[in-house]
Structure 1
Amino acid sequence: MSVLREMVMTEARPPVPPFAVESATKKVRGAEDAWNTRDPDVCVRVYTEDTRWRNRAEFPVGREAVRAFLARKWARELDYRLIKELWCTAGDVIAVRFAYEWHDDSGHWYRSHGNENWRFDAAGLMTHRHASINDQPIRQAERKFLWPLGRRPDDHPGLSELGL
């Protein structure tokens, strides 16, 4: 690993624990923004080298396994748009609820709903991510996440405002 890449991967990722509601909300929005890039290289910067995940029936361990998982995910989940919302926080853990919309290569649309539990180290890197996700088929006309691909605009409603 290059020295520059190692420096980038080991620097702190504020906000750092212990989290208050305000700092946890910033952490959640940062995660949402990163995932909405649909770029695994951007996303993995916030995970420890030995991060442990549970995502549906997959259990990636380590940053490189997560990178591969995300690449597969976004090759399958097209036009992906995500909204995350803080559920609660205490110390070094954050609980999040989320929904994202996407379609498959046949043009079938889905809204996936879920919950995540996150744990962080002292530098603000995520050590654990446990996700439970359910997929709801929707018609294209039922979509609610209509911003251009990329970061959700600040004035776009969140999950609570959308009734999700």
Structure 2
Amino acid sequence: MEKKFPLPPFNLETALLKVQQGEDAWNSQDPHRVAQVYTPDTEWRNRDQFINGREEVVLFLTEKWKKEQDYKLKKELWAFTDNRIAVRFEYEFHDESGDWFRAYGNENWEFNADGLMQRRFASINNVPIEAKDRKFV
């Protein structure tokens, strides 16, 4: 059986670690690496998309990072309890035309007993920015 430490129930130290692990995985821009922290039947809502299972996660992230180039993400723990964590985040990227954006959002995460994320619900908004205004260089 797969386990992704730390396992729930979370305390402040383990919740912070889980958030940092998530940030590191997403910043790798490796869809297969990211997908391994989710249950095989994971359930997502990402903006207006509904994604189910690791295979769909890989497809979604592969397409995402083709469009969102030079992606850099920062996550911040917002709250936690038992097997749930809430984060706020922001990330920057540019599109194929070279236009830069900063995305702001919130995610709610729910983990199974083995530390795999079984549900992820994300609300995200993009704001156009100038390259000179980037925070994550």
Q: TM-score range by the shorter chain?
A: over 0.9
Higher strand share: 2
- Aligned equivalents of 1:107, 1:21: Cα separation in 2: 39
CA deviation profile, 1:117-144 (whole Å, cap 9, x unmatched):
0000000000000000000100000001
1:109 corresponds to which residue?
100
RMSD over aligned Cα atoms: 0.5
- Aligned equivalents of 1:69, 1:21: Cα separation in 2: 31
Q: Quick one: which amino acid aligns to residue 57 of structure 1?
A: D
- Aligned equivalents of 1:14, 1:96: Cα separation in 2: 18
Deviation for aligned residue 1:11: 1.8
Matched, 1:53 2:44: yes
List aligned pairs for 1:8-23, cutoff 5 A. 10-23=1-14
Number of residue pairs the alignment of both structures matches: 137
1:133 corresponds to which residue?
124
- Aligned equivalents of 2:113, 2:134: Cα separation in 1: 38
Helix, strand or coil at the partner of 1:144: coil
Normalized against structure 2, the TM-score is what? Answer: 0.99
2:83 corresponds to which residue?
92
2:23 corresponds to which residue?
32
Helix, strand or coil at the partner of 1:60: strand
| Poorly superposed stretches of 4+, deviation over 6 Å | none
Normalized against structure 1, the TM-score is what? Answer: 0.83
- Aligned equivalents of 1:132, 1:71: Cα separation in 2: 19
CA deviation profile, 1:12-68 (whole Å, cap 9, x unmatched):
100010001110000000000000000001101100000000000110000100110
- Aligned equivalents of 2:57, 2:93: Cα separation in 1: 20
Matched, 1:143 2:131: no
